[in-house]
Amino acid sequence: MASWMPETLFETVGQGPAPSKDYYQLLVTRSQVIFRWWKISLRSEYRSTKPGEAKEIHEDFLENLHLQSQTALIFGTRILNYVINLCKGKFDFLERLSDNLLLNIISYLDLEDIARLSQTSHRFAKLCMSDKLWEQIVQSTCDTITPDVRALAEDTGWRQLFFTNKLQLQWQLRKRKQKYGNLREKQP
């Protein structure tokens, strides 16, 4: 594997399916998959149970169906598939980037590209629809954002605000001012 990769490629923890209280850790390094477990029980026969650990090199993990089924049971099939791809040397670098960094990158895309990107995965669909992204896009396309426009965006959503034409926007702002102006007049 490439030396510029960090030693730990992936790590997650989880609890066994109900009613189990057992605790599990899955760690994927550049050369191994490490599966650890801790038995959590109030029963006296399990109190002296020591934590367990299974270590497999990547090639052996790909052949170990029992360890794969345990991984899927505890962490889900999505995590299992991700670990299998890591073991095969298929790295998804986008998966490792934070949401904030991805939002910053996405904000520079054209609208058509954002629409296409939103169809590639659940994660990108969520990011492409997020208010945080559309707030960045609105701020980059508008010279100034008045407090009234900001308040409207917080009520209706930044994406909705972006796709609203100017006449609709003026009407919504006027309606909002009337609504909140009437509320203020009614308050003693």
Q: Please tell me the predicted confidence (pLDDT) of residue 32.
A: 96
Q: Which two tokens stand for residue 185?
A: 């007049």
Profile the chain (188 residues) by mean pLDDT over runs of 10 residues. 70 88 93 93 75 95 96 93 93 81 93 93 92 89 83 85 76 78 58
DSSP 101-121: HHHHHHTTS-HHHHHHHTTT-
Phi/psi at 80 (5° precision):
-60, -45
- Per CATH, the number for 95-185 is 1.20.1280.50
CA distances, 75 to each of 16, 49, 112 (Å): 8, 22, 35
User: DSSP letter string over 80-108?
Assistant: HHHHHHHHTT---HHHHS-HHHHHHHHTT
Q: Tell me what pLDDT residue 187 has.
A: 58
- Going from N- to C-terminal start, the domains of the chain cover 8-92, 95-185
Cα 182 from Cα 177, distance rounded (Å): 8
Determine the length of the chain: 188
Q: Look at residue 1 in the predicted model and tell me its pLDDT.
A: 43
Please check whether residue 56 is in contact with residue 33, taking contact to mean a CB–CB distance below 8 angstroms: yes
